Amino acid sequence: MQQSDVVIIGGGVIGSSAAYFLASQPGFQGSITVIEKDPTYNEAATPRSAGGIRQQYSTPENILISQFGAAFIKAAGDHLAVDGEAPDLQFHENGYLFLATEAGKTVLTANQQLQRQLGAATELLDPAQLQQKFPWLNTSDLAAGSFGPVNEGWLDPYSLLQAFRRKARSLGVNYIKDEVVGLDHSGRQVTGVKLHSGATISCGMVLTCAGIQAAHIAGLAGIDLPVRPRKRYIYVFDCRDKIARVPLTIDPNGVWFRPEGANFISGVSPAEDEDPDSTDFELDYRLYEDLIWPTLANRVPAFEAIKLVRAWAGHYDYNTMDQNVIIGRAPQIDNMIIASGFSGHGLQQSPAIGRALSELVTFGSYQTLDLSRLGYDRLLNGQLIQEANVV
Ligand SMILES: Cc1cc2nc3c(=O)[nH]c(=O)nc-3n(C[C@H](O)[C@H](O)[C@H](O)COP(=O)(O)OP(=O)(O)OC[C@H]3O[C@@H](n4cnc5c(N)ncnc54)[C@H](O)[C@@H]3O)c2cc1C
């Protein structure tokens, strides 16, 4: 039987960030193994992400988590270089722009005030200011917009994942290509992780970072995790008329778009009653034709003549209870830590979540950013933390 002090299940951006931060913790001396069933990450959420990072949230922890994320990403060359070679994360600090009609203005204003209090640079703009700053925008039905010019934009998700992974390996983390199929447990302890190959790895601590498989893994230890796979589509389109200085823009109806190289990408989260659990990758062009394209054409006159280039699907690990991450010690099991339920914002959260997980393993408590409110207990005691700004 193999042995590892810490076993991380899932080597996506969350598992690999946790591995990197743990291996870098001066107080941690143990061995770390990451079990990843598919090192090509073909079906994982991370490479299918839109790569957005913003501070425009309604939950204080999410704002602070992304602030650390942005600072970390900007200094990635210092943190994640291996043999003097710095990763290129292609961070575009072009901002996020949330738009509101009269109906959404109060919430937008309250969120902006919270973000400012916590140090974000979010600006509240009236329609005339919006028009001046973004001349390509149709503001006729808008009451306000909030724009985050600092620490907001997008990066290349796959590059961040590979940078964490490469750095973690350079620090001695062992990556194993295999699938976790069972957990040995005795009383309140997981004692071993069983793999598809037939091997078992005995361990002191297990971190569950398995994306949409997290509920399945937690279930192997008898834990009920309210995290479900929800399919999201990204549509790539070409616009003949060139428009400049385009942030990641979110229409009042939830449709979003941003530049991607010479093209644009766009998407929308469906209404809750049209959002079944799904693990397939089948594309739905109706959503584009019926909702996304009309919204784009209305919001940006230049988008009336766009051409759909391609599309892809990926899956949110969706926390059905309050759309925020569930992080911390699992109920009933003392040596299992969960990080799941990111509901579409895990890429940007990966630096702060990886750091938080490394603190829980090393010290048994948070040392920097206190994420206790985001623990599993909130699901049991009804103190949900509903995030209003889920895109
Ligand atoms: C279309 C789309 C757009 C998004 N846009 C954004 C965005 O703009 N900004 C943002 O911050 N976030 C965004 N996200 C969310 C973000 O991509 C995820 O929150 C994040 O990638 C989650 O990382 P993860 O490591 O938890 O999951 P994953 O990347 O899915 O990694 C989990 C890994 O676990 C492995 N695994 C699972 N089960 C097992 C097992 N039994 N044994 C071994 N390995 C296993 C899988 O193979 C996988 O590689 C988006 C997601 C999608 C789908």
Q: Is the CB of 342 under 6 A from ligand 1?
A: yes
CA-nearest of 370, 321, 337, 322 to 210 is 337
Question: How close is the Cα of 130 to the center of ligand 1, in Å?
Answer: 34
Mean pLDDT of the residues in the chain: 97
Q: What are phi and psi of 180, to 5 degrees?
A: -75, 125
Q: Indicate the pLDDT class of residue 54, thresholds 50, 70 and 90.
A: very high
Question: How close is the Cα of 175 to the center of ligand 1, in Å?
Answer: 17
Statement: residue 144 has pLDDT above 90 = yes
Mean pLDDT of 160-180: 98
How distant, in Å, are the alpha carbons of 225, 276, 312, 336 from that of 329? 12, 28, 34, 6
Q: Is the CB of 18 under 6 A from ligand 1?
A: no
Mean pLDDT of 180-184: 97
How distant, in Å, are the alpha carbons of 165, 312, 364 from that of 88? 14, 24, 33
* pLDDT attached to residue 389: 81
* pLDDT attached to residue 281: 98
Domains and CATH numbers, the chain: 2-84+156-226+321-381 (3.50.50.60), 96-150+231-315 (3.30.9.10)
Q: Is the CB of 213 under 6 A from ligand 1?
A: yes
- CA dihedral 368→370→372→375, nearest 10 degrees, is -70
User: Residue 371 has which token pair?
Assistant: 């994420």
Q: Which atom of ligand 1 is nearest to the CA of 248?
A: 8
Statement: residue 27 has pLDDT above 80 = yes
Statement: residue 219 has pLDDT above 90 = yes
Distant-in-sequence, close-in-space partners of 230: CB < 8 Å, separation ≥ 6: 275, 277, 278, 315, 316, 318
Statement: residue 347 has pLDDT above 80 = yes
Residue with tokens 């425009």: 56
* pLDDT attached to residue 388: 80
Secondary structure of residue 20 in the 3-state scheme:
helix
Angstrom distance (rounded) from CA 100 to CA 81: 41
Angstrom distance (rounded) from CA 245 to CA 259: 9
Statement: residue 1 has pLDDT above 80 = no
Q: Is the CB of 14 under 6 A from ligand 1?
A: yes
Q: Is the CB of 341 under 6 A from ligand 1?
A: no
* 101 and 153 Cβ atoms separated by less than 8 Å: no
* pLDDT attached to residue 179: 98
Q: Is the CB of 229 under 6 A from ligand 1?
A: no
* 22 and 5 Cβ atoms separated by less than 8 Å: no
- Give the residue, by CA position, lying nearest to ligand 1 atom 3: 49
Per residue in 273-309, pLDDT (tens digit) is: 889 999 999 999 999 999 999 999 999 999 999 999 9
Q: Indicate the pLDDT class of residue 272, thresholds 50, 70 and 90.
A: confident
- Give the residue, by CA position, lying nearest to ligand 1 atom 2: 49
Q: Which atom of ligand 1 is nearest to the CA of 10?
A: 34
How distant, in Å, are the alpha carbons of 87, 256, 261, 284 from that of 246? 25, 12, 12, 26
CA-nearest of 391, 367, 169 to 258 is 391
Q: Indicate the pLDDT class of residue 387, thresholds 50, 70 and 90.
A: confident
- Give the residue, by CA position, lying nearest to ligand 1 atom 50: 49
3-state secondary structure 118-173: CCCCCEEECHHHHHHHCCCCCCCCCCEEEEECCCCEECCHHHHHHHHHHHHHHCCC
Helices (H), 204-332: 214-220, 285-287, 293-299
Q: Is the CB of 344 under 6 A from ligand 1?
A: yes
In sequence order, what DSSP letters do the residues of 30-95 get, joined into one string?
S-EEEEES-TT-SS-SGGGS--EE----SSHHHHHHHHHHHHHHHTHHHHH-BTTB------B---
Q: What percent of the chain has pLDDT over 70?
A: 100
Q: Indicate the pLDDT class of residue 390, thresholds 50, 70 and 90.
A: confident
Q: Is the CB of 38 under 6 A from ligand 1?
A: yes
* pLDDT attached to residue 63: 97
Q: Is the CB of 153 under 6 A from ligand 1?
A: no
* pLDDT attached to residue 99: 98
